[in-house]
Amino acid sequence: MEDTKQQFEHIISLCRELFANKLHDYGASWRIMRPTSLTDQILIKANRIRSLETKGVAMVDEGIRPEFIGIVNYGIIGLIQLEAGYSDTIDITNEKALELYDQHARKALELMFAKNHDYDEAWRKMRVSSYTDLILMKIYRTKQIESLHGETIVSEGIDANYMDMVNYAVFGLIKLEYGEE
């Protein structure tokens, strides 16, 4: 499990680096996005991954890796927005945005460790395409919960689904970066 921790942290650092660079270029412009819009952004990324996996060829010179990174970053943004609420303006500094990013990335790591302990690293035996399908399922669950305005009977909330999407995307990135085991 030590390899998993190091690999997870490495992948999150790559995602964070892109997040920080985009913060430099755009500021925290994502603060205006409502969670429903973030869910749709993640849907676009996951649909593209599935399309590339199915077709085997890309017409735009970007592969699956940047889309998984986008899912990680939009998932963390979604968690921030659920906690802080969305804004009509850019109301936080880049430093505060990075601090919030780190908090939610750390929570994702902690959740992954807890689940990884219980499931005994079963994710390593899965195909990358299965992560894509699981992310898409979580998106559709999230959209349903959003249409119910968060009023569920037995299901986890939107935040748990975002957290799972982040972790599945990290697993996909680990497999792409380090290869299949």
Angle (CA) 57 39 35, round 5°: 155
**pLDDT tens column, 146-159:** 999 999 999 999 99
pLDDT the model gives residue 62: 79
Q: Rounded to 10 degrees, what is the CA torsion of 173, 34, 95, 22?
A: 50
Task: Round the average pLDDT of the chain to a whole number and report it.
Answer: 94
When pLDDT is averaged across residues 30-39 and rounded to a whole number, the result is 97
Question: How many other CB atoms are there within 10 angstroms of residue 78's CB atom?
Answer: 29
Instruction: State the Cα–Cα distance between residues 140 and 40, nearest whole angstrom.
Output: 10
The Cα-based distances of 28 to 12, 81, 90 in angstroms read 19, 11, 6
**Torsion of the alpha carbons at 172, 157, 81 and 15, rounded to the nearest 10:** -10
The 3-state secondary structure of 80-138 reads HHHHHCCCCCCCCCHHHHHHHHHHHHHHHHHHHHHHHHHHCCHHHHCCHHHHHHHHHHH
- pLDDT value of position 1: 61
* Percent share of the chain, pLDDT over 90: 86
For residue range 57-105, what is the model confidence (pLDDT) as tens digits? 777 777 899 999 999 999 999 999 999 999 999 999 999 999 999 999 9
Residue type, 23: L
To the nearest 10 degrees (0 to 180), the angle between helices 94-119 and 2-26 is 160
* Other CB atoms within 10 A of residue 31 CB: 19
Q: Kindly state the tokens that stand for 132.
A: 């894509």
Q: Which pLDDT value is given to residue 55? A: 87
The packing angle between helices 35-55 and 128-147, to 10°, is 150
Q: Return the amino acid letter for 175.
A: K
pTM over 0.85: yes
